[in-house]
Chains A and B, each alone.
Chain A
Amino acid sequence: MVEFTILLILLSMLLALISAAIGETVYDKILAVNIFGTITVLFIAVYGFVTGRPDFLDIALVYALISFVTTIAVLKFFEYGDMGKSSTDREQDIDI
């Protein structure tokens, strides 16, 4: 049963990869990377149970955090065109 699950996860990894490869806009690719991060979390969680050592669940949690931070950074880049300013700097820019 767990083996079947990991086959399905590998299949969905391939689908996310294809959607990243043939996606027309950059936003398709960002979405594909985000989905791929989620699938990786699932993969690591399930793989621990396949090998009979579910100690890797903590690592899956850290992966979820990293994937989230990356998506936030990418979207911030697309919103503002840079990532080096704090919110107070931005307010001053608007005043000028």
Chain B
Amino acid sequence: MIIYFTDIALSLMLILTAMVIAVQRNLLGAVMLSGIYSLLCASLFVCLDAVDVAFTEAAVGGGVATILFLGTLAQTDYEKKSRVGISWSGLFLVIICGSLLVYGLSDIPGFGLADNPVQTYLADVYLVQSQKDIAVPNLVTAVLASYRGYDTLGETTVIFTAGIAVLILLGRGKADSDTVESKES
């Protein structure tokens, strides 16, 4: 009972936050509110037992994305100048996309049912064997970190490579200024 209430309350607060973000005129305020949105999302993921997803959401959405947005706003202006009217074609497109998404929702299996595809494939093996094999209390963590360990290692390598590429691209200006200084001296 209380768990259902928590899920509903968090979802309603998510909708409320999205509405508040939509009407913000100050972009810094919008960035701050999107941080709140990420934290709410992470709480909801914890409620749905997806602890690893919640972890990523809090670290990327709440931490890194906020800082990246702020870095972008430091390069630009952060007050929206003119009040833009409603774009009717955009509203039409958004309504179409939303309707399609809701229509797609009618086809997904119910939450936590025993005969869902996700429960009938390898889940039994994981449930029975993981305590014996790995003895990690959280099953999702056991699957991600041990059964799919090489997959996770590959993902981490990709992200690490992307991070190095971004650092190389961003660090160029600073290296140039260093060489200029050394020439001058």
Partners in one complex: yes
**A17–B66 CB distance below 8 A:** no
Q: How large is the interface on A (under 10, 10 to 19, 20 to 34, 35 or more residues)?
A: 35 or more
**B70–A74 CB distance below 8 A:** yes
The closest CB in chain B to the CB of A13 belongs to: B13
Q: How far is the CA of A92 from the CA of B33 in the complex (A)?
A: 36
Task: List which A37-60 residues lie within 8 A (CB) of chain B.
Answer: 37, 40, 43-44, 47, 50-51, 53, 55-56, 59
The SS class assigned to the A binding surface is helix
Q: Which chain A residues have a beta carbon within 8 Å of chain B's beta carbons?
A: 3, 6-7, 10, 13-14, 16-17, 20-21, 23, 26, 29-30, 32-33, 36-37, 40, 43-44, 47, 50-51, 53, 55-56, 59, 62-63, 66-67, 69-70, 73-74, 77, 81-84
**A59–B54 CB distance below 8 A:** yes
**A40–B17 CB distance below 8 A:** no
Q: How large is the interface on B (under 10, 10 to 19, 20 to 34, 35 or more residues)?
A: 35 or more
Contacts of B138 in A (CB 8 A): 55
The CB with the most chain B CB atoms within 10 A, among A6, A33, A55, is that of A33
**A70–B54 CB distance below 8 A:** no
B51 within 8 Å of A (CB atoms)? yes
Given A59-B51, A70-B66, A83-B70: A47 and B36 within 8 A (CB)? Answer: no
